[in-house]
Chains A and B, each alone.
Chain A
C-alpha cells in the first residue's frame, strides 16, 4: 500500500540540455497515487520535454527519477512501461491497420509458440474496455475509430500493462464537449483505483475541474504549484507569463499608412473560420494564440500555399487570385515559414542556390543562369545581414538556426516583397540573431512594407507589434491595438477563450 509520504512518481533536479537550449533547469515533480496533477506552462516552457523524460523518451542529463521510491535507470523505450509509467501523447502510438484488440496487445500478445491466444485477448480486452466505460468494437480497425475512441484504446493499452502512472499530453485538445465530460469521469474513476495522473493542458477551465494540484513551468523551470483551493485562472496566468519584460525588443514608434493587404472572411475547413484581417503600410501586425489556433493555416492562405474555400484577399485595393505560392510571390507577398528545415530551405543545396530560388528570373536571361550576378548579390546580403558562413557555396544544412533564417530573409529581401509574413521568426534562434531579425522587421516596416508576425511568445508580440490579433480554434478572438494597457494576461485570456473588454 502506498502511504502518503511515499510518492508514486518523483523527479528530482532534472536537467536537460539540447544544442543551444537549456530545456529543463533542475525540475522537481512529484505525484501521489490517486492524484491528478496538472502540468501547466506556455509553449516552450518545457512541459513536453519533462513528460518525455517521464516516459523514458529523453534521458535527463542529471537528476533522478523514482517510481515508488525506487530510482529508475531506463535503457529501452519499453522500460518505463514495465515500471508502470504510460505516456499518452497527442499523436497516438497506434497502428492504423490493426484492430483495437491487436493494438492493445501489441508487443505483449499472450501466445503459445507464436500462436496468439485470441480468446484470452478477447476476454481481457472486453474487461478493460468495460472498466473504462468504453463502447468500442474490439475488432474495429483503429483507422476507423474517432479520436476519442483512439484515446480510450491508448488508455486500455496502458491499463492492460498495469500502468500505475498515466501521463496525458493535451488529452482534450481534439475532443468534443461531450467526449471531454466522459474523459473527466474516467479520470475520476482511475483516481479512485489509485492510479496517478499527470494532465498536461492549456485549457484552464478544465484544470479547475479535473486537477487536484497544478505545477506550473516557465522557461524550463518549475515556478511553483497551486493546490486545489488555490486554483484560479488569474493566478495561473500570472505564474505562467510572470517573467519580466526586458529590453530585448527594439520597438519603435511608427505611424502606419494605408491598408496594404486585406483578408475578408477567409475560410478553410475547420482550421480557418471567417478570418478577416488587414495590414497597413509600415505596420507590424502580430498574430498570436496557442499552438493549433489556426494562425499558420491562415497565413498559408494569404501566401497561396493552401487555397481558401471562400473569402477574398486584396492587396493595395486589387483582388488577388492566388492559386499557388508563385502567384503570391508575383504579387509581392512572401512567407518565412516557421519550419525552416522542412519548408524554408532546400537543405542539400548551397545557401546561394537557396537564395536564388525565387529570384532566378533576375539572375538569368532566357533561362540561362548568370551564376556570377547571383553570387555577387548574395555576397552583399552576407555582409548586410551579417550571415556567418564560410562562403556562398556552403550547404544550407550546415548553418545554425539564426543564420538559416537570415538566408531565408535574404532571399525575400532580394525579391523586394511588399508584404512579409514571419511565422515564428525567432523560434530556435539565439538571442543575438533574434535582435537583428527584430531590427530588420522594424526597418522593413519603416520602408512602408506590411508585416505580419506570427508568434506564440507573448513578450515578443507585445514588444514588436503595432496591432495584435488573437486566434483560437481557427477564429479571431479579438483584435487589440498594442499599448501599455495590453498585457500578457489580456492576451492569454483571449487565447484560451475568455472574451475581455478591449482596452481603448
Chain B
C-alpha cells in the first residue's frame, strides 16, 4: 500500500490514474483494424514482398471510392517499383473484377497474383472463377492484412480527445490560478457565451458577416476576449477591494454574463460568418494536430513557466497559502487577485472564440455548465480548494482524465446519463484523495 500513497502524494499523482484509464480503455476497445487507402497499399506491398521471391504478373483491384483509388494508385507505384508486371487495374465492384480477371487471362500470360482490397476476397464472382477457371488455381489472392489495435489508441481518436477537451482545458488554466489563491470562478461558462456571441456579433455587424476579412475576424475575437477579461477584472475587484466572497461575486457575474449574451444575440444563433472562421476550431495546420490543441499546449507551457519561474507565480501561491502573511511580507495581494481574475476572464473569452469557431456560429447557450467541468478538471488535477497548492500541469492531467473517461465511455457505448454519474464519482474520489493527503492518510471521524 505504501507505493500507492507515494504515487498519490506526489504533485502529479493523477498522471498514474490517467495512464491506468488509458490502459483500461485500450484493452476494452481492442478490435480488428482494417487498414484503408494508401496505408492498406503499404501493408499489402510488404506482405507481397515477403511471400514472393521474384516479382511476377499482378492484377490490382480496388473499390470505386476515394479510399479504393488511393489503394490502387499507391499499390501500383509500389509493385511497379518492385519489378512486377501490372496486368491491369480494376476500379469498381464484382462485374469490373470479373472483366479484369477475364482480360488478364485472355492475354495468354499467366497471372500470379490478385492484389485486392479486403472486400473483394469474399465476392461470389471470385469464388466462381476459382471453381470454373483452371488458370485461376495458380493465382494467389492477397489483401491487406488486418491487425489488432484499440479503437481508443488510434491517432484520430486521441486527437479527437484532445480537441474536445481543448476549450475546457484552456479555461481550466485560469481556474487553476484562481483556486490556488483560494478563490473560485463560477462565471467562466457564461463568459464563453458572452465571448462567442460578442465575437460573432461584431463580425456580423461591423465587418459584413460572411464577407469579413481576416483583420475583421481578429478584431471581433480580440474585442470579445478583452470584454471577458474586463468582466473578470470586475469580479476580481469585488473580491479584492470589497471582500465579497469569490463564490458570490462570480455567481453574480455568471448571471450577468449569461443575460448579456442573450441580450446581444436576441436569443438566436449568429452564423453569418466567413468560411475561414473555423480555422481556429477545426483547422489542423501542424501535422494533423488541431490548431486548438496546439494553442492549448502553448498556453499550458506559458502558464507553467509563469507559476514556477516568475515572481508573479510565487506571489499567487503565497496569496493562496496565507494572504495575511503575504501582505505583511510586501506582496501586492490585491493586484495579484485582480490579475488572476482578469486572466481567467480572458481565457474564458478565448475559449468562447474557439467554440464559436468550432461550430462556426455564436450562440448564447454555449458554455452551459462548463464552469463545473472546468472546476472538476482543476480539482481532479490535485489543486487544493483551500488554496496555496496546485500545479498547472496537474490540471491538464485532470482535464484529460475527464476527457478520456468521456471518450472511453462513448466508444464503449455507455449512455450519457451513466457518464454523468461516473464523472461525478470521479470528482468525489479526487477530492477524497486530496483530503486524505492533507490528513496524512488518516481518516478522522
Chain A residues within 8 Å of B, Cβ to Cβ: 303, 305, 324-326, 329-330, 335, 337, 342-349, 353-354, 356-358, 360-361, 364, 367-369, 411
Contact = CB atoms under 8 A, between A and B. Distances in A.
Nearest to A369: B309
Contacts of A305: 327-328
Contacts of B294: none
Interface string B377-421: 000000000001100000000000000000000000000000000
Given A348-B389, A349-B388, A325 B327 contact: yes
**Which of A329, A344, A346, A347: most chain B Cβ within 10 A?**
A346
A368 B310 contact: yes
**Which of B312, B315, B318: most chain A Cβ within 10 A?**
B318
B318 A349 contact: yes
Contacts of B325: 342-346
Given A337-B328, A348-B389, A357-B331, A364 B311 contact: yes
Interface residues on B, range: 20 to 34
Contacts of A348: 321-322, 388-389
A422 to B, nearest CB: 14
B304 to A, nearest CB: 13
B328 A343 contact: yes
A324 B327 CA distance: 8
Given A353-B317, A353-B318, A367-B312, A344 B328 contact: yes
A3 to B, nearest CB: 46
Given A346-B388, A348-B389, A349-B388, A357 B324 contact: no
Nearest to B310: A367
Interface in B292-341: 309-315, 317-318, 321-322, 324-332
Contacts of A347: 321-322
A324 B326 CA distance: 12
Nearest to B384: A348
A368 B388 contact: no
B332 A326 contact: yes
Contacts of A369: 309-311, 313-314
20 contacts: A303-B328, A305-B328, A342-B322, A343-B322, A343-B324, A346-B317, A346-B318, A346-B321, A346-B322, A348-B321, A348-B322, A349-B317, A349-B318, A357-B318, A358-B331, A367-B312, A369-B311, A369-B313, A369-B314, A411-B329
A361 B311 CA distance: 8
Nearest to A300: B328
Given A325-B328, A343-B322, A360-B311, 14 more contacts: A326-B332, A329-B330, A342-B325, A344-B328, A346-B317, A346-B388, A349-B318, A353-B317, A354-B329, A357-B314, A357-B330, A364-B311, A367-B310, A368-B309
A356 B328 contact: no
Given A342-B322, A349-B321, A353-B318, A364 B328 contact: no
A342 B312 CA distance: 22
Contacts of A353: 314, 317-318
A355 to B, nearest CB: 10
Contacts of B311: 360-361, 364, 367-369
Contacts of A330: 330
Contacts of B313: 369
B329 A325 contact: yes
Nearest to B306: A367
Contacts of B317: 346, 349, 353
A369 B316 CA distance: 14
A343 B318 CA distance: 12
Contacts of A349: 317-318, 321, 388
A325 B325 CA distance: 11
A301 B155 CA distance: 63
A120 B314 CA distance: 60
**Which of B309, B318, B321, B328: most chain A Cβ within 10 A?**
B328
Contacts of A329: 329-330
Contacts of B331: 326, 357-358
A349 to B, nearest CB: 6
> Shortest 9 CB-CB distances between A and B: which pairs?
A346-B321, A329-B330, A357-B329, A346-B322, A360-B311, A358-B329, A326-B330, A348-B388, A358-B330
Given A325-B329, A326-B332, A344-B325, A360 B388 contact: no
A323 to B, nearest CB: 11
A357 B389 contact: no
B327 A364 contact: no
A364 B318 CA distance: 16
A440 B314 CA distance: 29
A443 B314 CA distance: 32
Contacts of B321: 346-349
Contacts of B330: 325-326, 329-330, 357-358
B372 to A, nearest CB: 26
Nearest to B386: A348
Nearest to A356: B314
A184 to B, nearest CB: 39
Contacts of A367: 310-312
A353 B317 CA distance: 10
Contacts of B314: 353, 356-357, 360, 369
Interface string B103-131: 00000000000000000000000000000
A4 to B, nearest CB: 48
A364 B312 CA distance: 11
Nearest to A324: B327
A357 B327 contact: no
Contacts of A411: 329
**Which of A324, A345, A349: most chain B Cβ within 10 A?**
A349
Contacts of A360: 311, 314-315
A337 B327 CA distance: 12
Contacts of A357: 314, 318, 326, 329-331
Contact of B328 (A335, A361, A368): A335
Contacts of B310: 364, 367-369
A462 B60 CA distance: 105
Nearest to A355: B329
B240 to A, nearest CB: 12
Contacts of A356: 314
**Which of B314, B318, B330, B331: most chain A Cβ within 10 A?**
B330
Contacts of B312: 367
A356 B315 CA distance: 10
Contacts of A325: 327-330
B411 to A, nearest CB: 40
B315 to A, nearest CB: 8
Nearest to B308: A369
Contacts of B329: 325, 329, 354, 357-358, 411
Contacts of A364: 310-311
A167 B309 CA distance: 55
Nearest to A370: B309
B338 to A, nearest CB: 15
Nearest to B387: A348
A330 B329 CA distance: 11
